[in-house]
Structure 1
């Protein structure tokens, strides 16, 4: 795969700083971090700039952040070992662990809220009103959507039988789909809701928060040695533990911190493994 194609969507490189480092030298290979495109590339680039700057300075090493046009392409690049680190959804993290030997380093806090929103101009009171209607999905391959489909089924609503779905082109404009009337409501995560432009968000209201699911996981590629992975993890913990760059990242992203993965976190994704493989293999 060509370098231009692989990093076509969003790529940023920071040269290593002048500070000394015990772990890295200025001749070290660029550290590439792949970030799941759960929001638009423009917003991801802005959010992850503080992390790039911090790691480049502290490790005295070039750091690059990349994403992909969609979740499937990102996951394919993950499995192809295109990245040294990935920040990805917990269900995709489990697949990467099982299929390619990625190692979980940290998970984001807090957990991710699953939400349903509707237009303020056409409010709905209960989820039952979705019967015979269209539901917009910001990220149809997400853990929030998988859990959301379970929740709707528990409420007597089966996808493609009782309601249909439409996929939004990008999650930061899923609100437009609802405001235009192309869908009665939208299902999305708290972070995706946060990414909706204020002018659109002002025309929406939250119907319900139906669940909380595991947050994103930072995974180390099997290309990295155990010592490299430990060193990078320590830098990430420093970033999250009160650095100015960390404060800026958490303020813009809506996350609150990075923590050790909870015991059993990865195994808790096993019920979603086959469904995740299926949606990742589906065309479009």
Structure 2
């Protein structure tokens, strides 16, 4: 039996059919019965749809906001990555910082979003590569009651300080400020860990703490009545803000291309411009060479906190 040509033109290779269509066209043309051709077409389409889907990339976002708020905020970034990388992307977080660190070190995330302080630890321990960082730097304030007589950091000796999770860069900057002010952060003050910067400021107003460690952006979010009852005792130097990392070894485009993909999203895409504002990133920029090495000062404290929580 001789092989049949294309059912539409009789030629062995039809110029009007794409490569993937030639095989189906020949098979359909080889069946004279219309119902048989329909059955074969359905079978071929089902076989194509049964092909294994690409494994989703895992986007891990550090738990600095309530989970529902966090995932909703970063949904535009997840969609952008899935669209541009032509691969499913799943976003998730962890119940706390310790669990997030553990999952990151275990390589459960292909892409990471986290503060550059904790990110430096993950970078050095697990080989993640920074791709881009927020244009908004991180600074923290030591807030005290507006009516208090506290004049400097040293006056907080034996006082109570409301702060965030010790793994956050805000808490670490706060501890650094206390040390630079002549206090031993472990012995000279009593830390009270709260869940949000607002709770920290509220603790001062309610008399539950003499000072609060909060990011600078909190002041813009407080009502006028609360701001009037607080004053700034000290302000930290700035460090790089929230960064996006890629895990070494995962199948992804080259890192410069990933960086460009992220920068274009934050600058030239309308959904991306809304995202960087809603996420309070103020845009994305490239990471400068060795920029995050300034965060090495936080590594001993991160390791100490991890060791303490293992005990």
Equivalent positions of 1:1-284 (< 5 A) are 27-119=53-145, 126-171=152-197, 173-191=199-217, 193=218, 202=227, 205-207=230-232, 208-225=234-251, 227=253, 229-283=255-309
User: Which range moved further: 221-230 or 207-216?
Assistant: 221-230
Name the SS for the 1:39 alignment partner. Answer: coil
8 Å contact from structure 2 (residues 273, 283) kept in 1? no
Query: TM-score scaled by structure 1?
Result: 0.78
CA distance, structure 1, for counterparts of residue 223 and residue 71 of structure 2: 19
Query: TM-score scaled by structure 2?
Result: 0.72
Structure 1 residue 73 displacement after superposition? 1.0
8 Å contact from structure 1 (residues 40, 171) kept in 2? no
- Residues 96 and 280 of structure 1: CA distance in aligned 2, closer, same or farther (over 3 Å): same
CA RMSD, 1 decimal:
2.9
Q: Deviations over 1:157-181 (max 9, x none)?
A: 2224332111113445333333332
8 Å contact from structure 1 (residues 175, 200) kept in 2? no
Q: Deviations over 1:128-180 (max 9, x none)?
A: 44233100112322233323323222222222433211111344533333333
CA distance, structure 2, for counterparts of residue 152 and residue 166 of structure 1: 15
CA distance, structure 1, for counterparts of residue 305 and residue 162 of structure 2: 17
Name the SS for the 1:266 alignment partner. Answer: helix
CA distance, structure 2, for counterparts of residue 281 and residue 201 of structure 1: 37
Name the SS for the 1:27 alignment partner. Answer: coil
**Runs of at least 4 residues of structure 1 off by over 6 A?**
194-197
CA distance, structure 2, for counterparts of residue 199 and residue 42 of structure 1: 28
CA distance, structure 1, for counterparts of residue 59 and residue 276 of structure 2: 17
CA distance, structure 1, for counterparts of residue 197 and residue 106 of structure 2: 25
Structure 1 residue 124 displacement after superposition? 5.0
Partner of 2:27: none
Gaps of 5+ in 2: 1-51
Higher CA-based Rg: 2
Which fold has the larger relative contact order, with Cα–Cα distance below 8 Å and residues 6 or more apart in sequence?
1
Structure 1 residue 121 displacement after superposition? 6.9
CA distance, structure 2, for counterparts of residue 125 and residue 40 of structure 1: 35
User: Which range moved further: 237-246 or 164-173?
Assistant: 164-173
User: Which range moved further: 125-134 or 92-101?
Assistant: 125-134
Gaps of 5+ in 1: 1-25
CA distance, structure 1, for counterparts of residue 164 and residue 228 of structure 2: 17
